[in-house]
Chain A
Amino acid sequence: MDPSHSRPADAPADAMPAPALAAAGGQAGGVTPGAGSDPSPPIDAASLARALEAVVGPRGVLRRRSELAVYTADGLPGYRKFPSLAVFPANRAQLIDVVLVLAEHGAPFVPRGAGTGLSGGALADDVVLVGLNRLHRVLSLDPENAVAVVEPGVVNAALTRAAAPFGLYYAPDPSSQAACTIGGNVAENAGGPHCLKYGVTLNHVLGVTAVLSDGEVVTLGPGASGAESAGYDLLGAFVGSEGCFGVALDVTVKLTRAPQAVRTLLADFMSMDDAARATSAIIACGILPAALEMMDGPTIRAVEASIYAAGYPADAEAVLLAEVDGLAAGLDTDAGTIARICTAHGARTVRIASDPADRARLWQGRKKAFGAMGRVSSHLVVQDAVIPRTQLPAVLARIRDIATRHRVTVCNVFHAGDGNLHPNIGYNAYDADESARVDLAMREIMRICVDAGGTITGEHGVGLDKIGYMELIFSPSSLAAQCRLREVFDPERRMNPGKVVPVHSCREWSRRPS
């Protein structure tokens, strides 16, 4: 998602109100720069900047507040954090040297891709920000084995463009794919609508070469060699580590062969319940759709009032967007089965996209839904939680109750097929009362998702936003185990400090033999 959609462009940066969700769960307040390490001697900022300039040149380091303002936010609304400085290595060698300089100075730092993340993972609060956008080359592409090696700053959609001439594409498709980078996707283990059939980033990454916080370069996973890798699945651990384990120098990804045929269906319902039950029935029937997305009435009306109007029936209370793809043979039969299931569960109409342009239009409404909500309110909290699929009707009903009780408007637009909810609340962040109600509603929504057997984030990451919810789903010993893993990679906890795991969880295990 382009964060500009969720925030007025003319809002003065420093005047952003205290974030509604900063204190969510009561833990975020404990986050301090460099948190996680014990107090260490202050870093000589001038000396650090000089050393970094020696690596990347004077234009590769930003220090002025006016220049840094661009890097004070990511896709999480309501937060403004100034990095102490920002450094932009131009290539792999410079990136390694930058990390070495940071290690010599004991400086905490935050790696950043495109800054489209929705959990605050790329916010650098008075620590160094390392921008990776200049490392944007596709290093190699092996069409026969459907494998590509890319630098971390390669944009998700650009990789698909590079692969398209070979009949291949990169399957994970977060809504921000036109801007977000593969490095950021790896850090967040990003998802997207088509992950229902094709899997998330983890399932598409074959290898990572990373520089660790002490400057050591490590190779994780089999990479482009194609041979099974040996030993622990440290690649699996690295994917989704939110920039706390290392900085990717290159990423080896699996490409997917473009399907022979695609069918996209739109079904509209007069109740969310019916649409949710249709979802469960489709999943259970033996067909694995490429995508199965749901939008509720408020979302439909926001989309239809916007330039992204997709032709959704504006009086519907829910639409399901279903897609099947693969071999042409039998695909119409699968599409027909899905249409019948929708009708049997109360769909008013089911239509199948007539041509690629029609299909693109149906998808545009879904992918730009967050942007369309900019018409409704100045700010938007994009929430992310996962529940078991059979719990959809019950949880959606409870979300409605919560919204009514706290007088907020929830728009649901989400990956129904895998139970990945995005209850979004539009609000005005300058209205303290409304912000507080949004905060309370979100906390209650997270709790009911956890109570239903779900989790606090399916694809956006924990970052800063969800850190206070971690104790809802993990015991102290489980959180301490996560800290142990982090310290295998980054013993000084200098990378992306204060994110993912609450700091106090990491202080409670200390009886390790050295």
Chain B
Amino acid sequence: MVTPPVVTAPSEAWAPQTAIGVQDAVREAIATRAAIRIAGGGSWLDAGRPVAPDARVLRLDTLRGITQYTPGDLTLTARAGTPLREIAEATAAEGQWLALDAFATSDDGGSIGATIATASAGPLAYALGLPRDIALGVEVVTGDGEIIRAGGRVVKNVAGYDLTRLMTGAWGTLGVITEVSVRLRARPEVDRTLALARAGPAESAADVAAGLRTAAMAPLAAELLNPALAARLGVTATGSPVLLLRLGGNAERVASEQMEAGKLGDGAVIDTDVWRALRQCERYSPGAVVVRWSQLPSLVANTWRHAVECCAGSPEALIHASLERGVVRAIIPAADTAALARVLHPEDRPSGGPVFVGRRIAERLPARLWSAEPAPGTTDRLARRVRMAFDPWHVLNPGILGEGARDAADRHGGSP
């Protein structure tokens, strides 16, 4: 069936205050063949691929507030648009925290709905879990306008098929998350951050990962910073890479880990607030390209070297590595086109060096570069069938996963 695309002028955003309001918006979109751009706090709208240009924004910042929090249960339920900052404040008052510390550019830490929808992880993820480990349940408006609930509010739950995991990291393409229940943690008695200077060339700084694995310590986070980022965060004056360690537990344990950390480098205790600054480090470089590389943790030293070499000649490039997860992330000024070219096309590099065999994932790219980015995992048969099952008319964030123009055409050509 060939139907001419329905051209709609950019319309006013939907700003629902309830799940029913979200459902109305989705149903309206289906009826009018419109596309929806879901926006939580609105701070990551330039992250991820561009959504169909005619998409109408569905704001979720109007859908906010903690709906259930019993501290003794160590669980919390909040509407999707609730900023992480608001949750952090409520839980801190009870000596607890939500260990979701995704990188975000906004002061409020981004919204809980967006964090779950994009499965964004931060430095605490290795020790305290990825979003998929922390989400207990969701309320979702699916792409065909149904309000569904998956999972629940308790910390163990195997009732039914796991739609919570399916929605986590789906970037809103299967449903609009309207409410999330999460697992909390009691805050450790002592929460101490060390900055260890790593002398020597930046390329080999991640060699420390091997020592970290065998050390008698289990840090809450272990993040390696390149000299540019360490300087930005004000944790070094020497121009060397810095290993940030976050230690938690009772005083005796943390003291012992601190001793052990001394074997990895010269260190100083610094303000724990550095983690918040690190989370927002993209703000130092507006409009920058953000990518990350991921492969086996045992190969993180190679991954780091690859990232540093790609960014050579870009003195402002900020690089950091979650050593225990094997993930390296770089923020590269868009003007540094040579570094950018090496990042995106490492095979064109003249020099040798270790070959990176893992995955490079783009978080933020100039619009013109997205079309050349591969979109693995969205075009195989199962992925297409999942999309069809939950968003049959492709109204939700069409294009954001790189699923291609064909789907947008389906949206206009399909009949509800």
Contacts and interface: CB of A to CB of B under 8 A. Distances in A.
Interface in B214-229: 216-218
Question: Of B164, B296, B401, which is in contact with the most chain A CB atoms at under 10 Å from its CB?
Answer: B296
Nearest to B299: A226
B52 interface: no
Contact of B253 (A231, A330, A389, A419): A330
Contacts, number: 253
Nearest to A230: B377
Given A195-B156, A283-B72, A241 B132 contact: no
A329 B253 contact: yes
Interface in B137-174: 142, 146-150, 152-166, 168-170, 174
B294 A227 contact: yes
A388 B154 contact: yes
A283 B73 CA distance: 9
Interface string B267-304: 00000000000000000000000000011111100000
Contacts of B380: 218, 231
Interface string B43-81: 000000000000000000000000000111111000000
Contact of B160 (A225, A388, A474): A474
B218 A326 contact: yes
Question: Of B154, B216, B251, B256, which is in contact with the most chain A CB atoms at under 10 Å from its CB?
Answer: B154
B147 A477 contact: yes
A15 interface: no
B161 to A, nearest CB: 4
Nearest to B174: A232
B28 interface: no
A466 B71 CA distance: 30
A459 B150 contact: no
Nearest to A280: B72
Interface stretch (A41-49, A176-184, A199-207, A300-308): A199-207
A334 B299 CA distance: 35
A389 B389 contact: no
A119 B414 CA distance: 42
Given A232-B170, A283-B186, A386-B156, A329 B252 contact: yes
B119 interface: yes
Contacts of B315: none
A473 B157 CA distance: 12
Interface stretch (A20-28, A55-63, A485-493): A485-493
B385 interface: yes
B158 A460 contact: yes
A4 interface: no
A418 B382 CA distance: 34
Interface string B375-401: 111101111011011101100000001
A324 B225 CA distance: 33
A189 B158 contact: yes
Question: Of A386, A461, A487, which is in contact with the most chain B CB atoms at under 10 Å from its CB?
Answer: A386
B155 A418 contact: yes
Contacts of B133: 199, 202-203
B297 A455 contact: no
Given A327-B218, A333-B252, A485 B156 contact: no
Contact of A145 (B149, B169, B298): B298
B162 A241 contact: yes
Contacts of A387: 154
A285 B160 contact: no
A231 B378 contact: yes
Contact of B150 (A203, A239, A386, A478): A478
Interface in B191-226: 213, 216-218
A233 B133 CA distance: 12
Contacts of B376: 230-231
A387 B75 CA distance: 12
A76 interface: no
Given A233-B168, A236-B132, A329-B252, A484 B390 contact: yes
Given A237-B162, A419-B155, A145 B294 contact: no
Interface of A: 142, 144-145, 188-189, 191, 195, 199-200, 202-203, 216, 218, 225-237, 239-241, 244-245, 260, 280, 283-288, 326-331, 333-334, 337, 386-390, 415, 418-420, 453-462, 466, 470, 473-475, 477-482, 484-489, 500-501, 512-513
Given A231-B376, A260-B216, 12 more contacts: A145-B298, A231-B378, A231-B380, A232-B383, A234-B166, A237-B166, A284-B186, A388-B154, A418-B154, A418-B156, A481-B142, A484-B390
Interface of B: 70-75, 95, 119, 129, 132-133, 142, 146-150, 152-166, 168-170, 174, 185-189, 213, 216-218, 249-257, 294-299, 326-327, 358-359, 361, 375-378, 380-383, 385-386, 388-390, 392-393, 401, 414-416
22 contacts: A145-B296, A203-B129, A226-B298, A226-B358, A227-B295, A228-B294, A228-B327, A230-B361, A230-B375, A231-B383, A233-B165, A236-B132, A237-B161, A244-B161, A284-B72, A334-B250, A386-B157, A387-B154, A473-B152, A474-B160, A477-B148, A500-B161
